Amino acid sequence: MTDSTRRDFAARYGPWALVTGASSGIGAEFARQIAGRGVNVVLIARRTERLTTLANEIQNRHGVDTQVIDIDLTLDGADTRVAGGVGEREIGLLVNNAGLGRSGRFIDQRANDHARMLDLNCRAPLLLAHWLAPPMARRGHGGIIFTSSLSGLMATAQLAHYSATKAWDHFMAQTLHAELRHEGVDVLSVCPGPTDTEFFGDGEFQPSRWPKAARQQMSRPSDVAQAALDGLGRTSVVVPGVSNKIIAAARRLIPERYIARLTDRAMRRVMRVRSGP
């Protein structure tokens, strides 16, 4: 990236960016790469130690300022606490990246876990966007990124609620893109497929049990963040990875009810392998 490109990015999306879910994975890469483009970064997640380590790394490597806000975005009033922590800093870029997922049958999961997923994947991005979009529109520039998912583009059984929340993120990004482009605010939905992050945890849908070819197709967090930042202001949707682009295009040719059945069958096979004979 040239110095001119970095200056243009910082002028349009600076002086500060706010990144949620910044303690690991795609969120941490967003923070690193935004800082590399000359923008100061507010880092938001629950894990204070990880955020502090990342903040020090970013400051030392890129010479930008950082702020750490350790908070659980599913809590009532979290958005107000974030606003209080940010204070008078001018946020020119919001990255709604924090997210939670659970695999398995919808009815086998606890209602409280579903509610928490809804709060983190949908309610928190809604409140943060509603807070930060108006001043961006008044200034005539800024950007908002929603981290959706390939599962947000198609009905994915055994990831039923996660798929639904990511569809919400995707369509919110698309509608805000249409509404805010007139005010100079760029909005993007980034829809990664399986990515090498902590997302899978110790649940049923373990990459270690996937076919080798599927594991090799996993994206790197750095590639997802770069694709999103490169696409911001140029398009409204980014699907990183060639194989994911093919899947995203093919899904338009198949009715949703059939996609749900196909994903159910595929996911059941994967999870049966994990549970053994």
Task: Give me the CATH number covering residue 75.
Answer: 3.40.50.720
pTM of the full predicted structure? 0.90
Distance CA 51, CA 47 (A): 6
Give the residue-averaged pLDDT of 192-207: 65
Question: In this predicted model, what pLDDT tens digit does every residue of 114-131 receive, in sequence order?
Answer: 999 999 999 999 999 999
- Which is catalytic among the residues 16, 162, 168, 210? 162
Q: What residue numbers bound the domain in which 250 lies? A: 3-275
For position 204, what pLDDT does the model report? 52
What is the number of structural domains in the chain? 1
Is a pLDDT exceeding 50 seen at residue 277?
Answer: no
For position 275, what pLDDT does the model report? 39
The count of other CB atoms within 10 Å of the CB of residue 19 is 29
Is a pLDDT exceeding 90 seen at residue 212?
Answer: no
For position 194, what pLDDT does the model report? 87
Question: In this predicted model, what pLDDT tens digit does every residue of 236-274 receive, in sequence order?
Answer: 999 999 999 998 998 888 888 888 888 888 777 766 544
Q: Tell me if residue 258 is catalytic.
A: no
Highest mean pLDDT: which of 188-192, 209-213, 243-247?
188-192
What burial letters (b/e) apply to 232-248, b meaning 16+ CB within 10 Å?
bbeebbbbbbebbeeeb
